[in-house]
A = this chain, B = another copy of it.
Amino acid sequence: MSLPHIAADQISLPHVLAALGDPTRLAIVRMLAHSADMPIACGGFTDLGSKTNISYHLAKLREAGITRTEIAGTSRLISLRSADLDARFPGLLDSILLATSDAARAHDPLPIPATGVLA
């Protein structure tokens, strides 16, 4: 079971870039990329915002064609559409993920986690 997703061919570059231009959504994508193809349920992102707000951002990512959402019971499993994105825009996702690595973030303002080990 799965929510409707746009075809890989119809993923639009400005929409993808605009979606990833938001720090919360970029953090979500980064978490998905680091989970090694293991989908993450919505609840796994609660450090990044309220339940409602995460739902909103996840919808944006899905509508942009960046993530896939599978329904499993009461959970929704979110995964990156890495292959679709790389086919449509070769190298784009990789370079963005590389840019979000700790080294590249060294000069970025520290993201403030709502709660967590850094607090």
Q: Which A residues have a C-beta under 8 Å from some C-beta of B?
A: 9-10, 12-23, 26, 88-92, 94-96, 98-100, 104-109
Cα of A19 to Cα of B84 in the assembled complex, Å: 23
Q: Which of B10, B20, B108 contacts A17 (CB 8 A)?
A: B20
Cα of A99 to Cα of B87 in the assembled complex, Å: 10
How far is the CB of A8 from the nearest CB of chain B, in Å?
A: 9
Contacts of A95 in B (CB 8 A): 89-92, 94-95
* A21, closest chain B residue (CB): B18
Sample of 8 more A-B contacts, CB < 8 Å, known A13-B104, A89-B99: A13-B100, A13-B108, A14-B22, A14-B23, A15-B21, A17-B18, A89-B95, A95-B95
